[in-house]
Amino acid sequence: MEVIVSIHKAVLPESFVVRMGNYFMKRFYYTVLPKMGFLNCLLLQYKGTYAGIIVTNIKPFSLIRSSIPSNFFTFCWVMCVSLLQLAQRFAVLFEVLRYKPDPILRSFEQTGTAFEILTIGVLSSFRQVILPDGRKLSHALLHEAVSYYRAKGFTHVTGQILKSNQEALKFYSKYNATFIQSSTREFGVVMDLPLSNFNTPR
């Protein structure tokens, strides 16, 4: 758990879960959601050292909300503790409450065969590592996740990406992903990557 949290914080410090603090990550996000089968986390180890992470989910439209009814008291307790630990987190919570999930993600979720990439990243000291097959570690992480979900019958990968995140757009473009303008976020797009198109990156 400590490794997961530390790498997540290092590769995506601006994410909602990181800004809500370690308690929220350890006691709800990386505990309750995986037990419910909604969230999956893969750690990458390179030469004995944990170097990267990919976090995926099968509820691209309603990840947190789907888990609350059966974990209501746990969720409330964790949120209260997290907010009391740092008052600035109230602003993060209000920001999330104002967020409107994209209807495009609802269509992906309803198929039951699409998974979402929430977080993918490699620690800065490992980003230039090239594996014997010619891939960087970030591509190895993506391939591992795709193999995992493909074996379960999933057919699409999706994800929300900021237009300003050119690195991510270029990364997924190598796999012939398409990007759909978000209907709720002018500055964002929703990725659609059919696994039938997924192969060695261009």
Query: What tokens appear for 141 in the block?
Result: 């992480």
- What pLDDT is attached to residue 189? 97
Q: Between the CA of residue 62 and those of 33, 37, 116, what are the distances in Å?
A: 12, 13, 11
As a whole number of angstroms, the distance between CA 19 and CA 11 comes to 13
Output the pTM of the full model. 0.93
| Ranges 35-44, 67-76, 133-142, 191-200: which has the least confidence | 191-200
Instruction: Kindly report the backbone phi and psi dihedral angles of residue 132, in degrees, each rounded to the nearest multiple of 5, phi listed first.
Output: -55, -25
On whether residue 11 sits in a domain, the answer given is: yes
**pLDDT tens per residue across span 45-100:** 999 999 999 999 999 999 999 999 999 999 999 999 999 999 999 999 999 888 88
Going by the DSSP 8-state scheme, the letter that residue 200 receives in this structure is: S
Strand-strand pairing, 178-181 and 114-122: unpaired
Residue 126: CB atoms within 10 Å: 17
- What pLDDT is attached to residue 200? 60
| Ranges 10-14, 35-39, 114-118, 193-197: which has the least confidence | 193-197
State which amino acid sits at residue 160: Q
On whether residue 189 sits in a domain, the answer given is: yes
**pLDDT tens per residue across span 138-151:** 999 999 999 999 99
CATH code (residue 8): 3.40.630.30
Task: Look up the domain containing 161 and give its range.
Answer: 2-197
- What pLDDT is attached to residue 185? 87
**Residues 7, 109, 61, 32: is their CA dihedral positive or negative?**
negative
- What pLDDT is attached to residue 196? 87
On whether residue 51 sits in a domain, the answer given is: yes
Following CA atoms 57, 33, 31, 18 in sequence, which dihedral angle do they give, to the nearest 10 degrees? 60
- What pLDDT is attached to residue 101? 86
On whether residue 202 sits in a domain, the answer given is: no
On whether residue 92 sits in a domain, the answer given is: yes
On whether residue 66 sits in a domain, the answer given is: yes
Number of domains in the chain: 1
pLDDT confidence bin for 199, thresholds 50/70/90: confident
pLDDT confidence bin for 201, thresholds 50/70/90: low
> Measuring CA to CA, which residue among 124, 116, 36 is closest to residue 75?
36
Q: Where would I find the H helices in the chain?
A: 2-11, 16-19, 22-24, 32-35, 63-67, 72-85, 89-98, 103-111, 137-150, 166-173
The answer to whether the CB of 42 falls within 8 A of the CB of 144 is yes
What three-state secondary structure class fits 122? strand
pLDDT tops 60 at residue 202? no
